[in-house]
Each structure stands twice: as structure tokens, then as C-alpha cells.
Amino acid sequence: MNMTSTTFSAQVPRPATRRTVDAPTRVFHWLLALSFLGAYVTADGERWRLMHVTLGYTMAGLLAFRVVWGLIGPRHARLSGLWRKLQGLPAWVSGLKAGTPNWRLAQNLLLAFSVVALLALIAPLTLSGWGTYNEWAGEWLEDVHEFFGNALLAVVLAHIALIVGLSVLRRRNQITPMVTGRVNGAGPDLVQRNHAPVAVLLLAAVIGFWAWQWQQAPEASAGVDAPVAGAGRGGPAQQGAYDARHGPKHGARHHD
């Protein structure tokens, strides 16, 4: 009975799949999502200040990696590919005016725009957070940091809603490619190499940085014995940097 079942299972062909997303891009995606979520959750209050700042640094480092990978990585990971998709906007507008809109083109435009917006917002968010942490300016910089934090949150939620909506409309899980790197269907791989060693190095670098920051935590938290002045001001993304700026200056230079 077991032999028959095994033989039958072996004879059933597996569904054809093809690789569309390389491993470094997938690792970057989930590390960025985890870092933003963690930074948002730990932003309010002094207790998690070091974690909030660490995750902010991580987001900045991940952005740098994505820019480099977008220049030297495989064709489908190139930032130029996003630009080519955005260049389809005039054609879609023309089709809309003619009464024959191309909805598949609209899908590509929306996805490309959401990704570009996400990447574009990380730089001013982390820079304003760094400036607030180091007291570069007054409250106006805190307000700038809060604005970009809220803007990034809005884009993230819109991106998630778009993916869920496309999954429902197309009756196909649009999250799977960013998990497995593959989609169902026959045909050649759009990404010929998975570049797993690069993904492993990226993951090791981030985990190593987190471990190093954790080792500094006991020393960094020494002397924290009073509530942060002005606690409760602003939104979560801004509040963490505000707490960091008004707390003990253990990390402003120590974590450079």
C-alpha cells in the first residue's frame, strides 16, 4: 500500500514554475518590512529607544544595499526596470482617454510607483531621524521626521492593499514570488541565478549589526532613570527619535 502510494506520488508531475525574484531582493524586502514594523512598534517610549534607533540604521543600510543591487544585480532587480514601468504612464493615460484602458499596465504602474515611493521615503525619514537624534535643529526637524514616518506608513499600507487586491482579482497569490521567488507557469526563468550567497551575506550583516548593537545595550542604558521629557508628543515614528534626542546621550556618538 505504501509502495503504491509512493509510486503514484512519484508519477504525478509537479506544477511547472519559473523564478522571477532573486534571493537578495527577497531578503531585502522582508528585512525592510521587519525593520519598519519594529521601528514603528518600538517608537513610543524610552525603554525601546536603542532598538528603534538600531532599526532605523538598518533601514538606511538596506536602502544603500538596494541601490547598489539595483545597479549591479540581475536585470529584473535593476532600478532601471522600475523607471521603464513608470514610463508607461503616458500610454495608459492615452488608452484611458480613448476608452480602452490597459488594466495590466495600470497594475504595473501602481506596483512600480509604490516601490519607488517606499524607497524614496526611506532616505529623508532616516536622515531626519538621525538629525533629530543628534539635535541638529529644533522642533521643525522633529515635525519633518514625523511627516515622513506617517507618509511611509501610508505607502506601506497602500502597497499591502494593492497586493491583496490583485491577489483577489487575479485569483493568484501575489505574495508567493516574494517568498519563494517563483510563480506557477511554464517558461524560462526570468531570473537565471538565485544569488543565494549574496542573500546570506546580507542577512548575516544585518544580524551581526543587531548583535553588535545588543552588546552595547547594557552600557548604553546605564543612567536611564527618568521619564523622557515631552513623552507623548507626535506620532510613533517621530516619537522614538524624540525620545532618543531627549534621553541620555549614550548613543549619539557611540553608535556612529
With both helix axes pointing from N to C terminus, report the angle between 23-41 and 49-72 in degrees, rounded to the nearest 10.
160
Q: Answer with the residue of higher pLDDT: 30 or 189.
A: 30
Q: What is the 3-state secondary structure (H, E, C) of 1-63?
A: CHHHHHHHHHHCCCCCEEECCCHHHHHHHHHHHHHHHHHHHCCCCCCCHHHHHHHHHHHHHHH
pLDDT given at position 180: 83
pLDDT in tens, 148-190: 999 999 999 999 998 888 788 777 777 888 888 777 766 676 7
Domain ranges of the chain: 21-181+202-218
Report the CATH fold assignment for 21-181+202-218. Answer: Fumarate Reductase Cytochrome B subunit (1.20.950)
Instruction: Please state, in angstroms and rounded to a whole number, the distance separating the CA atoms of residues 161 and 173.
Output: 13
pLDDT band at residue 15 under the 50/70/90 scheme: low
pLDDT at position 227, please? 34
pLDDT of residue 243: 43
pLDDT of residue 103: 67
d(CA 159, CA 29): 13
Of 163, 128, 155, 138, nearest to 240 (Cα)?
128
Phi/psi at 255 (5° precision): -105, 15
Give the pLDDT of residue 109.
Answer: 82
CA distance 237 to 165: 27
Cell output for 241: 527619535
Query: What are the grid coordinates assigned to 77, written together?
Result: 532587480
Q: How far apart are CA 221 and CA 254, in angstroms?
A: 12
Q: What is the pLDDT of residue 138?
A: 74
**Which of 14-23, 78-87, 117-126, 183-192 has the lowest average pLDDT?**
183-192
Rounded to two decimals, the pTM is: 0.74
